Structures are given as C-alpha cells and as structure tokens.
Amino acid sequence: MLHVVLYQPEIPPNTGNIIRLCANTGAILHLVEPMGFQLSDARLRRAGLDYHELACVTRHADWDTYLESCGARNTWAFST
C-alpha cells in the first residue's frame, strides 16, 4: 500500500489534486499539520472534484504524531 504524506501543505488546489490522485490509485493520504488552509476551503474542494469521499485521508497534528501512528517505513522525500 502506498502512503502519500504532505508535510504542512500550503496550497489548497495542489492538495485537492493529490486527494484526487490518492482516490484514483487507492493510496492513503496523510496530512501533517499545520496546514496553510482549512479542509473546507472551496479551492481545495474544487481541485479534488468529487473525490474527497473516495479518498482515505488522515490528519496528524505534527510530524512526531505521524511517525507514532505509522511507524518506520521506507521513505522517499521530494520537495518542490
């Protein structure tokens, strides 16, 4: 199972697109807070279209909470 982790995402449309990607591929999305927007942001919902209900999304208060929840995994990190 592929897990996608967004660390402190700031751009709602990008996050919405990744929600759609995870819904279509069956990947689990982890959002590590703080985020630069609310999940109710219209731009996020517009970019994710109707896939929000199909995606498995988990929110984590911080990086340590994510690590406690998911444990050690093979990790590939990318930055843009």
Domain membership of residue 47 (yes or no) is yes
- What's the confidence (pLDDT) of residue 56? 95
Is the residue at 79 inside a domain? no
CATH assignment at residue 15: 3.40.1280.10
Based on the number of CB atoms within 10 Å of its own CB, is 74 exposed (0-12), middle (13-18) or buried (19 or more)?
exposed
Q: What is the pLDDT along the chain (80 residues), one digit of tens a residue?
A: 899 999 999 999 999 999 999 999 999 999 999 999 988 888 888 887 788 889 999 999 999 999 999 887 777 878 77
DSSP state of 73: -
How many other CB atoms are there within 10 angstroms of residue 52's CB atom? 15
In a domain, 75, yes or no: no
Q: What is d(CA 25, CA 2) in angstroms, rounded to the nearest whole number? A: 9
Q: What domain range is 47 assigned to? A: 3-70
- For residue 63, being part of any structural domain is answered with yes
Class of residue 69 by CB neighbours under 10 A (exposed 0-12, middle 13-18, buried 19+): exposed
Give the total number of structural domains in the chain.
1
In a domain, 31, yes or no: yes
39 is a domain residue: yes
43: in domain = yes
With beta carbons less than 8 A apart as the criterion, state whether 55 and 22 touch: yes
